[in-house]
């Protein structure tokens, strides 16, 4: 880190727990590299304390913005004055910044980070067919970003019919004719199959879908970051399929954060 003085501007990342967050190391390295007199600090906030902590932080004159992680990404939207499209669509946010007039704007870069990661790995979504497993918060963010980025078709599956139908309705309303849904995974004709469920966090989790059902040359992507090599990705690699690791999403979120917080690189 560069030297912190009285002129240093603040960013804070809110989470519970907080010890595992990667953002301070990544963002501070970036801030230091570009010579910005600002620092990102970890802020441990329990859910019951979120309202009070955010109210206090909003009044801090040298605080320019917040990053938000589990479990506050949905609740934090209540404290924003305006929601960017991705935050409005997903109903969750992972970044807030103070605008010139003092209003707080929330955005969600889960989807944009995932798409940026795909592009960086040579898998531009434009014109490709996707199968997405998991219609929760991360799945919704990834689905919207893939369609926004020009995916030719998106098949979404989730074992919870209510959650699946709700997401499909909202996706079809905005991107009509490009989305289908099912309770069981349909990955057979996908160019890229994406796991957006928590399956794979634990070593004995079942596979979210069977990579053997994919055609040769398809890509298997996971949004799980730890472990880096999930059971799904190991199985896909063993089948000779291309794999795309969860960490790429975070790497490219960093670029999104830099743009959002106007950190010139």
In the bound state with its own copies, the residue whose beta carbon lies nearer, of 10 and 143, is 10
Q: Per CB under 8 A, does 74 bind its own copies? A: no
Directed axis angle between helix 247-260 and helix 110-120, to 10°? 120
Pairing of strands 95-98, 63-68: antiparallel
- Least CB distance to its own copies at residue 118 (A): 27
- Least CB distance to its own copies at residue 263 (A): 16
Task: Lay out the site mask for its own copies across 20-59 (x = CB under 8 A, - = otherwise).
Answer: xxx-xx--x----------xxxxxxxx--x--xxxxxx-x
User: Segment contacting its own copies (CB under 8 A): 5-13, 107-115, 156-164, 191-199?
Assistant: 5-13
In the bound state with its own copies, the residue whose beta carbon lies nearer, of 40 and 196, is 40
In the bound state with its own copies, the residue whose beta carbon lies nearer, of 209 and 261, is 261
User: Segment contacting its own copies (CB under 8 A): 9-17, 110-118, 161-169, 224-232?
Assistant: 9-17
Alpha carbons 260 and 224: distance in angstroms, whole number: 24
Task: Lay out the site mask for its own copies across 200-239 (x = CB under 8 A, - = otherwise).
Answer: ----------------------------------------
Q: Is 100 a catalytic residue?
A: no
- Least CB distance to its own copies at residue 159 (A): 32
- Least CB distance to its own copies at residue 18 (A): 5
HEC readout, the chain: CCCCCCCCEEEEEEECCCCCCCHHHHHHHHHHHCCCCEEEEEEECCHHHHHHHHHHHHCCCCEEEEEECCCCCCHHHHHCCEECHHHHHHCCCCEEEECCCCCEEEECCHHHHHHHHHHHCCCCCCCCEEEEECCCHHHHHHHHHHHHCCCCEEEEECCCHHHHHHHHHHHHHHCCCCEEEECCCCCCCCCEEEECCCCCCCCCCCCCCCHHHCCCCCEEEECCCCCCCCHHHHHHHHCCCEEECCHHHHHHHHHHHHHHCCCCC
Q: How many residues bind its own copies (CB under 8 A)?
A: 39
Alpha carbons 42 and 20: distance in angstroms, whole number: 10
Catalytic residue among 72, 73, 186, 244: 73
In the bound state with its own copies, the residue whose beta carbon lies nearer, of 32 and 189, is 32
- Least CB distance to its own copies at residue 39 (A): 7
Q: Per CB under 8 A, does 162 bind its own copies? A: no
Which stretches of the chain bind its own copies, using CB under 8 A? 1-8, 10, 15-16, 18-22, 24-25, 28, 39-46, 49, 52-57, 59-63
Catalytic residues, which ones? Answer: 73
């Amino acid at each position: 880190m560069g030297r912190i003085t009285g002129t240093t501007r603040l960013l804070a990342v809110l989470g519970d727990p907080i010890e595992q967050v990667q953002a301070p190391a990544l963002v501070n390295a970036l801030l230091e590299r570009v010579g910005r007199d600002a620092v990102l600090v970890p802020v441990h906030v329990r859910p019951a304390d979120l309202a009070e902590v955010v109210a206090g932080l909003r009044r801090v004159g040298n605080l320019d913005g917040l990053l938000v992680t589990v479990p506050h990404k949905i609740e934090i939207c209540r404290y924003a004055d305006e929601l960017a499209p991705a935050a409005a669509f997903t109903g969750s946010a992972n970044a807030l910044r103070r605008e010139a007039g003092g209003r707080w704007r929330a955005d969600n870069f889960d989807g944009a980070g995932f798409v940026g990661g795909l592009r960086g790995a040579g898998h531009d979504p434009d014109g490709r067919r996707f199968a997405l497993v998991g219609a929760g918060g991360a799945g919704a963010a990834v689905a919207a970003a893939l369609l926004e980025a020009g995916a030719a078709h998106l098949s979404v599956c989730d074992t919870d019919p209510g959650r699946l139908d709700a997401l499909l309705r909202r996706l079809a309303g905005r991107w009509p004719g490009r989305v289908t849904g099912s309770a069981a995974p349909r990955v057979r004709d996908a160019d890229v199959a994406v796991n957006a469920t928590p399956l794979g966090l634990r070593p004995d989790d079942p596979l979210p879908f069977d990579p053997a059902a994919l055609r040769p040359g398809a890509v298997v992507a996971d949004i799980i970051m730890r472990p880096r090599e999930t059971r799904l990705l190991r199985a896909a690699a063993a089948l000779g399929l291309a794999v795309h690791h969860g960490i790429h999403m975070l790497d490219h979120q960093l670029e999104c954060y830099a743009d959002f917080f106007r950190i010139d690189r």
